[in-house]
Amino acid sequence: MKTPLDNREADIPPVLGANLKMDRANAWAYLMSNLFVLPGTGTFLAGQKVVGVLQMVAATLGMIMTVCLPIWFFEVLVTKSKMADSWGDPLFLNGLAGIGIFMASWIWSLVGSLILLKRK
């Protein structure tokens, strides 16, 4: 006689992306999600969980830091008459660093997706 515990594996949903067959179409979908959704999403769905999470964290951190640029711009616009005096401001430098971090994560996910696409 079967008990409910015998069927517990049927009740557990599959890991995200685990039931997908890795073919060229899926590799293209992962590339597109890395490029146009958030860097790291396609990598995560392709099964490289740790690398995907690191790419997503870096991209999110870069986006948050990039918000410093409009804050810096409006601060300079309101408080100073010349922008040339404030290029070394920490908000400006944080914004530039955020752009760099985001672009690095985007390129990292692009290279990883192209490698995956080349294998398939």
- pTM above threshold 0.85: no
**pLDDT the model gives residue 9:** 47
**pLDDT the model gives residue 101:** 97
CB 98 within 8 A of CB 63: yes
pLDDT, tens digit, 9 for 90 and up, residues 87-96: 778 888 899 9
**pLDDT the model gives residue 10:** 47
**pLDDT the model gives residue 17:** 47
**pLDDT the model gives residue 2:** 57
Residue 2 φ/ψ region, left for φ over 0, alpha for ψ in the -120 to 50 degree band, beta for the rest: beta
Dist CA 44 CA 48 (whole Å): 5
Dist CA 112 CA 114 (whole Å): 5
pLDDT, tens digit, 9 for 90 and up, residues 4-57: 555 544 444 444 445 556 788 999 999 999 999 999 999 999 999 999 999 999
pLDDT, tens digit, 9 for 90 and up, residues 54-84: 999 999 999 999 998 888 888 877 877 666 6
